[in-house]
Structure 1
Amino acid sequence: MTVMDNNQIVYIAQAKSNRLVKMFTTIYTENTITDKEELIKELEEIRKKAMP
């Protein structure tokens, strides 16, 4: 997971894998959430769905 810091990408989370992982970055797709409040709301929804 990455975030933008001015004009740089900062990795804030990673996951280890025992397999080869192809990594690429596409910035600002049509589904990108750029508003902080909207991102927080989306993360809350994800937590609700993930937590029984």
Structure 2
Amino acid sequence: MPPTFDDLLARARALPRGGRRALLGIAGGPGAGKSTLAAALVRALNADGPS
């Protein structure tokens, strides 16, 4: 079973540690929704406020 959006968001939230930057890669074929997923993750992470 593929991870849900909430699973991916939790993983993304756990990436930055100790004031360091993190790089998150999203891979998939054309039209798979990579840009849509990235935009939704950015909105959700920005809603958390500054870290």
Do these two structures clear the TM 0.5 threshold for a shared fold by scoring above it? no
Higher relative strand content: 1
TM-score bucket of the superposed structures, by smaller chain? 0.3 to 0.5
Considering only CA atoms, is the larger Rg found in Structure 1 or Structure 2?
A: 1
Using the size of structure 2 for normalisation, the TM-score is 0.35
Q: Which has the higher contact order (CA 8 A, sep 6+)?
A: 2
